[in-house]
Structure 1
């Protein structure tokens, strides 16, 4: 049993690694515009911005969907999996957020196909795949367990966002670690909350994020993709 748990942990680390070739480091999810507008200016305001995104967006949309899609794959419910994938992509409020999601999902899909993961090989050609859907495919194939996978996804997102804040505010390396130290304890409760949500409780409504993302598409100078 220890060997199985260790193997699952290593797979979560593989999926959460910044070395995963899906380009997560290239996106700021509105943070670049928020910093330009002085909404986020230092460690404390960065912590507030990221806490809101993690708890009110990922915790109420992405992570609940990840848990449902993992379960759908366990039950061989291909129709349910595809329906949740479409629902998630339709929930993206700007063209930038949609492209970020579908482009990273497509990159992870191509990687999984190269690794001969059956669900990825069976996915219809040309059909967009959300990143969360792709994580669910990989995690279920490697038997990571849904909760461990969800924590890995949250960690990967937080690490990328902290990296963006480090470049843009900018934060020093020590402050970046203080930011991670402040936010890491909130991740397990987010997964617990997500697991208890009913279908009619799903959804994220963060007008500030949508506005920042939409304006980032037209920002005059930017480091991150739009």
Structure 2
């Protein structure tokens, strides 16, 4: 991996990337309101469950396949995985979170001259992982490093939400990151070895929390 490719991964994973990732809690806000998540230990359990049963089996496997599709110039596979990923969002909030971030990233990639983004059909919804695959393949980051960057970005945003909502102190937030970070490479290994007919997430608690989130009396986050 070249220094420039590493810097591109850091660019895509940065909270300064203008796609609004910090605005979403993915049901965590509701889980905290209901007392499912109350401290660093329960937060680690919640986030670990999402990593193992959602990102490792849905988002990251699709990201790896889309990167490979772009390497082969296989537009059919790219579009198919994009549509399949969006179809797997179980609530309107989760769908909007994915497609809104994907749309924001698409506009950014177009302004940065990424060809796959510039050729994306107008009005066609774009999943966030699809946009990341476009940028990563164009900048030759490698699929593994790109997936690590995507996982880190997700984790940082989720820990940021937990810090505000539980709330956690800054030291506990770093302890939470320290606890979960070592598991990220294993997520990629699971995703890489998973057959395509076994892809999919099964988290009814997440779907329930996401569906109920819009009915909370007060909300800081969009999902």
TM-score exceeds 0.5? yes
Matches within 5 A, 1:120-159: 120-159=117-156
Which of residues 5, 12, 19 in structure 2 aligns to 1:8? Answer: 5
Provide structure 2 residue ranges, at least 5 long, that are not aligned to the other structure: none
Task: Find out whether 1:85 has 2:82 as its counterpart.
Answer: yes
Query: Which residue of 46, 51, 59 corresponds with 2:48?
Result: 51
Query: Where does residue 220 of structure 1 map in the other structure?
Result: 217
1:183 and 2:196 equivalent?
A: no
1:32 equivalent in alignment to 2:29: yes
* Separation in 1, partners of 2:44, 2:2: 32
Equivalence for 1:17: 14
Deviations 1:81-125 (A, max 9, x none): 000000000000000000000000000000000011100000000
How big is the shift at 1:218?
Answer: 1.3
TM-fit CA distance, 1:165: 0.1
Q: Deviations over 1:126-147 (max 9, x none)?
A: 0000000000000000000000
Please give the alpha-carbon distance, in whole angstroms, between the structure 1 residues aligned to 2:217 and 2:138. 42
Q: Distance in 2 between matches of 1:170 and 1:97?
A: 23
* Correspondence for 1:207 among 195, 204, 207: 204
- Number of equivalenced pairs: 223
1-side partners of 2:13 and 2:188: how far apart? Answer: 16
Matched with 2:94 is 97
Distance 1:128 1:25 in 2: 21
Structure 1 stretches (4+) deviating beyond 2 angstroms?
none
SS of the equivalent of 1:162 reads: helix
SS at 1:208's partner residue? helix
Q: SS where residue 176 of structure 1 aligns? A: helix
2:170 to 173, 191, 196: 173
How much does 1:217 deviate?
A: 1.4
- When the two chains are superposed, the root-mean-square deviation of aligned CA atoms in Å is 0.6
Please give the alpha-carbon distance, in whole angstroms, between the structure 1 residues aligned to 2:43 and 2:167: 11
